[in-house]
Amino acid sequence: MTDTLILDKAVPDFQLPATSGVTFQLSQFLGKNLIIYFYPKDSTPGCTTQGIQFREAYADFQNLNTEIFGVSRDSLKSHENFKAKFSFPFELLADTEELACTLFGVMKMKNMYGKQVRGVERSTFVIDKNGTLIKEWRGVKVDGHAAEVLNFIKTI
């Protein structure tokens, strides 16, 4: 899968290992809205803040028939520790082979300490109950982002 996704088009079915011993499969969530957010690294300050903000709004998302999944290239073990430490009520998906990162087109060259490195661009995607990509945010700034996503979900 080298084509990245297009707004208002169906998202191809994919699966990834998830925390809590489950396997995420996109097609299992037809009938619900999905928020899939990509973040660079477990237990880093920005990624922790982002996860906490989604955690704090989780009940509101659930009331709107919406599930949340966080995705990074970290291992399942790293995800399990991160999820437990901050009591995230949603699953984290381990994309160690960059399957979803490639599908969603979130791998970018970034500057880190003066060096060019390839990494995940913080991005969020909303997939509606029919499996269609209906909204994307790229280059996300963490503060207030979960509230912005919640406000969008309220409109659908």
The 10s digit of each residue's pLDDT in 37-89 is 999 999 999 999 999 999 999 999 999 999 999 999 999 999 999 999 999 99
Residue with tokens 């237990």: 43
Task: Give the global pTM.
Answer: 0.95
Q: What is the pLDDT of residue 75?
A: 98
Q: Which residues pair with 92 in a beta bridge?
A: 70
Q: Which of 16, 18, 36, 47 is catalytic?
A: 47
Query: Mean pLDDT score of the chain, rounded to an integer?
Result: 95
Mean pLDDT across 130-140: 96
> Is 101 among the catalytic positions?
no
DSSP 97-155: T-HHHHHTT-EEEEEETTEEEEEEPPEEEEE-TTSBEEEEEES--STTHHHHHHHHHTT
Tokens of 113: 């300490």
Q: What is the pLDDT of residue 105?
A: 95
Superfamily covering domain 15-153: Glutaredoxin (3.40.30.10)
Q: What is the pLDDT of residue 4?
A: 66
